[in-house]
Chains A and B, each alone.
Chain A
Amino acid sequence: MNLSAISVVYRKELTEWLRDRRTLISTVLVPLLAFPLLMVGITALATVMIGNAEKEIPKVMILGGEDSPQLLDRLHKLDKLVIVPYADNWKDQISNKEIRAAIEIPKGFQVALTEGTAPTVDIYYYEGEIKSSFGADHLQDAIKDYREDIVKERLAANNLPASVLSPFEIKRQNVAPLEKVGGASIGGFIGYAAILLCLTGAMYPAIDLTAGEKERGTIETILSSPISRVDLVLGKFLLVFSASLVSAVLSVTSMGTSFALLGHSHLMTSSGGQSLNLSLGPLSVAAVFFMAFPLAVLFSAVLMTIALFAKTYKEAQSYLTPLTFLVVIPAIASIMPGVELTPKLALIPVLNTSLVCKEIISGTYHWNSILLIFTSTCVYAAAAIFLAVKMFQREDVLFRS
């Protein structure tokens, strides 16, 4: 191995890479902008949309209830709802978003209440439509209040306290630090996103330096120079690896900034109503970066090996698309609730790194797992580099016609 020759190849590839708009977009711009746009943008948009939906006073319709004036009167007095007159096409009106919901009071409802039987009140709405859900919620709240009032009246009539129905209270409280709650909620997503961008950041340089070189006709030019093929592939690999790392660093930094902004604006809260601590500390960033390191080596070598088989840029893209799915599936699996890091899962590439990133972001450092995952990924990465070097020595791959 000639370090000087490897360095010459690396510097040349770096010069070309910095002049290539296509690879710069995939390696620098996408990781830098994807998270602010996705996280801050979508969350802010969702907040605005929910806020607007909450501000609206929903129009609802009452079906029946002529013989139940008490409930009718109560519903008409609600200032959170606008009651519209009955129409036969009420179902269509809900579907067409002309009204948000409808409530059906069965015939003889009030008499049935007096007699102690249990009539059913139906609420109709448009499932999946947020404004319709709010309308249905308001109706349900009103009916619940009415039901509770009746219960209270009946208890009072029998000289019984309200606590008869609720002899004790139940309250769930989070005891985990908010950093861990944040990590458990969105840590998996951070690992997933960093891994995916590590892959996409390496993809275009890997294609450009292999299939791209074949397509442009420069492969024969470089092979006629005295550099050994091992040094050539290592020089190229270092550039692809650098691109992958740049993507990983930019994506993690971008995520840290995005979450800092989110935390600052209190857009994300825990189920207990507390603001989640989503800021990624320097230790978390460094640890995620450290774990992404061997994975970037693995991705770079595998991408180069596969892309080298292709004769053109387009052909290489079609070979590498299935690989994206192979990476996305285990990365997504790590986000699934209940998927925890086990010794067996620690040996599955991509999934292991994604899971350990999730733990790291929530502030949990299982050093044995971290060491096992780092070592196993290094072994896979070394095997992938070996394979890439072997492929560069195969004439049938380099000159495939």
Chain B
Amino acid sequence: MIEARRLIKLFHDKKRGQIRAVDNVTFTCKPGQIYGLLGANGAGKTTTLRMLATILEPTDGTAIICGHDVIDEPERVRASVGFLSTATALYPRLTSQEMVEYFGRLNGLDEPTLKKRLDEIFSRLDMNSFRDRRCDKLSTGMKQKTSIARTLIHDPQVMIFDEPTIGLDIMTARTIIEFIRECRQRGKTVIFSTHVMSEVEKLCDVIGIIQSGKLLAEGSLPELRDRHHERDLEEIFVQVVTPYQNSSEA
């Protein structure tokens, strides 16, 4: 379960002064549900997800992940979360297995449990053929599988995906999309950020449209279609975002 409560994140820039990257964002994502955070580049998606993963600390507001507060118990939150983005790279000089083992140990798994989980995940993701290969020698698809195994090793209840398919070829992107669906089937709470409309249409149970740090619209795809009298998600997105863009540019 994810509960974001009036999350605010301010950054200070020497030239531009104070920047409100995330502005009063509140939403809830339940187990067995995929929440899609839809927004353009620089809308505040990554900052929101980084706050949920406790990589960044909120300036104000908070979030509760699996009953743990991101400000008061960041380490417990991280133990409940699997975080995957294109920015979460692999250690090039470790093998695929060593990479996953490392994160298992950081998550406090004992050696027998770690071995059992490792064998299970490597078989499920068909990774045994390259488990001893160094990460810098892996193909993009193999790297993504290793990243997925890394996020799954401690069996987290919450999965956070920050634009996980950006820059990937179609086949690798499909692997990721399948993996996200599987997470929902296993009853995990999933939050997923993207600016690719088709991915949102395929995957998300609830969609939140974010622009300039503000959550402007929220609901299931049918709810958004009814509210905006429009079937096409891209048109809905433009309808929601344009007035705000015009007012902020004015």
Are A and B interaction partners? yes
Do A15 and B106 touch (CB < 8 A)? Answer: no
Report B57-70 CB contacts with A as 1/0, cut-off 8 Å.
10000000000000
Do A16 and B78 touch (CB < 8 A)? Answer: no
Q: Which of B81-89, B188-196, B230-238, B239-247 contacts A (4 or more CB under 8 A)?
A: B81-89
Do A20 and B93 touch (CB < 8 A)? Answer: yes
Do A8 and B106 touch (CB < 8 A)? Answer: yes
Do A220 and B75 touch (CB < 8 A)? Answer: no
Do B78 and A218 touch (CB < 8 A)? Answer: no
Determine whether A217 belongs to the interface, using a CB cutoff of 8 Å to chain B. yes
Report A237-249 CB contacts with B as 1/0, cut-off 8 Å.
0000000000000
Question: Within the assembled complex, what's the spacing in Å between the Cα atoms of A5 and B102?
Answer: 10
Inter-chain contacts of B81 with A (CB < 8 A): 224
Determine whether B103 belongs to the interface, using a CB cutoff of 8 Å to chain A. yes
Do A224 and B93 touch (CB < 8 A)? Answer: no
Question: Within the assembled complex, what's the spacing in Å between the Cα atoms of A300 and B168?
Answer: 38
Do A16 and B91 touch (CB < 8 A)? Answer: yes
For residue B156, give the distance in angstroms from its CB to the closest CB of chain A.
Answer: 10
Determine whether A223 belongs to the interface, using a CB cutoff of 8 Å to chain B. yes
Do A218 and B55 touch (CB < 8 A)? Answer: no
Given the interface contacts A225-B78, A226-B75, A226-B106, does A218 sit within 8 Å of B91 by beta carbon? yes
Inter-chain contacts of A9 with B (CB < 8 A): 106
Do A226 and B150 touch (CB < 8 A)? Answer: no
Inter-chain contacts of B108 with A (CB < 8 A): 226
Determine whether A227 belongs to the interface, using a CB cutoff of 8 Å to chain B. yes
Do B91 and A217 touch (CB < 8 A)? Answer: no
**A224 interface neighbour in B53, B57, B92, Cβ under 8 Å:** B53
Determine whether A228 belongs to the interface, using a CB cutoff of 8 Å to chain B. yes
Question: Within the assembled complex, what's the spacing in Å between the Cα atoms of A217 and B135?
Answer: 13
Determine whether A344 belongs to the interface, using a CB cutoff of 8 Å to chain B. no
Determine whether B107 belongs to the interface, using a CB cutoff of 8 Å to chain A. yes
Question: Within the assembled complex, what's the spacing in Å between the Cα atoms of A10 and B63?
Answer: 32
Inter-chain contacts of A228 with B (CB < 8 A): 75
Inter-chain contacts of B92 with A (CB < 8 A): 216
Inter-chain contacts of B85 with A (CB < 8 A): 220
Inter-chain contacts of B106 with A (CB < 8 A): 5, 8-9, 225-227
Determine whether A92 belongs to the interface, using a CB cutoff of 8 Å to chain B. no
Inter-chain contacts of B138 with A (CB < 8 A): none
Do B55 and A217 touch (CB < 8 A)? Answer: no
Question: Within the assembled complex, what's the spacing in Å between the Cα atoms of A113 and B92?
Answer: 85
What class of interface size applies to chain B in its complex with A?
A: 20 to 34
Determine whether B1 belongs to the interface, using a CB cutoff of 8 Å to chain A. no
Inter-chain contacts of B150 with A (CB < 8 A): 221
For residue B66, give the distance in angstroms from its CB to the closest CB of chain A.
Answer: 13
Question: Within the assembled complex, what's the spacing in Å between the Cα atoms of A217 and B92?
Answer: 11
Cβ-closest chain A residue relative to B151 = A224
Choose among A20, A220, A221 the residue with the greatest number of B CB atoms under 10 Å from its CB. A221
Cβ-closest chain A residue relative to B77 = A226
Determine whether B177 belongs to the interface, using a CB cutoff of 8 Å to chain A. no
Given the interface contacts A223-B55, A224-B81, A225-B106, does A218 sit within 8 Å of B89 by beta carbon? yes
Inter-chain contacts of A220 with B (CB < 8 A): 50, 55, 83, 85, 87-89
For residue B241, give the distance in angstroms from its CB to the closest CB of chain A.
Answer: 24
Determine whether A141 belongs to the interface, using a CB cutoff of 8 Å to chain B. no
Do A225 and B89 touch (CB < 8 A)? Answer: no
Determine whether A73 belongs to the interface, using a CB cutoff of 8 Å to chain B. no
Choose among A216, A226, A228 the residue with the greatest number of B CB atoms under 10 Å from its CB. A226
For residue A19, give the distance in angstroms from its CB to the closest CB of chain B.
Answer: 4
Inter-chain contacts of A20 with B (CB < 8 A): 93
Question: Within the assembled complex, what's the spacing in Å between the Cα atoms of A16 and B95?
Answer: 10
Question: Within the assembled complex, what's the spacing in Å between the Cα atoms of A216 and B91?
Answer: 8
Inter-chain contacts of B88 with A (CB < 8 A): 217-218, 220-221, 224
Determine whether B218 belongs to the interface, using a CB cutoff of 8 Å to chain A. no
Determine whether A88 belongs to the interface, using a CB cutoff of 8 Å to chain B. no
Do B87 and A217 touch (CB < 8 A)? Answer: yes
Question: Within the assembled complex, what's the spacing in Å between the Cα atoms of A221 and B107?
Answer: 13
Choose among B53, B55, B76 the residue with the greatest number of A CB atoms under 10 Å from its CB. B55
Cβ-closest chain B residue relative to A224 = B83
Cβ-closest chain A residue relative to B47 = A399
Question: Within the assembled complex, what's the spacing in Å between the Cα atoms of A365 and B76?
Answer: 52
Inter-chain contacts of B40 with A (CB < 8 A): none
Q: Which of A1-54 contact B (CB under 8 A)?
A: 5, 8-9, 12, 15-16, 19-20
Inter-chain contacts of B56 with A (CB < 8 A): 395, 399
**B89 interface neighbour in A12, A19, A217, Cβ under 8 Å:** A217
Cβ-closest chain A residue relative to B136 = A216
Question: Within the assembled complex, what's the spacing in Å between the Cα atoms of A223 and B106?
Answer: 11
Cβ-closest chain B residue relative to A8 = B105
Do A15 and B98 touch (CB < 8 A)? Answer: yes
Question: Within the assembled complex, what's the spacing in Å between the Cα atoms of A217 and B87?
Answer: 6
Inter-chain contacts of A12 with B (CB < 8 A): 91, 94, 98, 102
Inter-chain contacts of A217 with B (CB < 8 A): 87-89
Determine whether B90 belongs to the interface, using a CB cutoff of 8 Å to chain A. yes
Determine whether B79 belongs to the interface, using a CB cutoff of 8 Å to chain A. yes
Q: Which of B139-159 contact A (CB under 8 A)?
A: 150
Inter-chain contacts of A224 with B (CB < 8 A): 53, 55, 78, 81, 83, 88
Inter-chain contacts of B103 with A (CB < 8 A): 225
Do A221 and B89 touch (CB < 8 A)? Answer: yes
A-B residue pairs, 10 tightest by C-beta: A217-B89, A224-B83, A221-B88, A226-B79, A226-B78, A225-B106, A19-B93, A16-B93, A8-B105, A223-B55
By a beta-carbon cutoff of 8 Å, the part of chain A in contact with chain B is 5, 8-9, 12, 15-16, 19-20, 216-218, 220-221, 223-228, 395-396, 399
Q: What are 15 contact pairs spanning A and B, CB under 8 A?
A: A8-B102, A8-B105, A9-B106, A15-B98, A20-B93, A218-B90, A220-B55, A224-B88, A225-B78, A225-B103, A226-B108, A227-B75, A395-B56, A395-B57, A399-B56
A sample of 8 more A-B contacts (CB under 8 A), given A16-B94, A226-B78, is: A12-B102, A217-B88, A217-B89, A218-B90, A220-B83, A220-B87, A224-B83, A395-B56
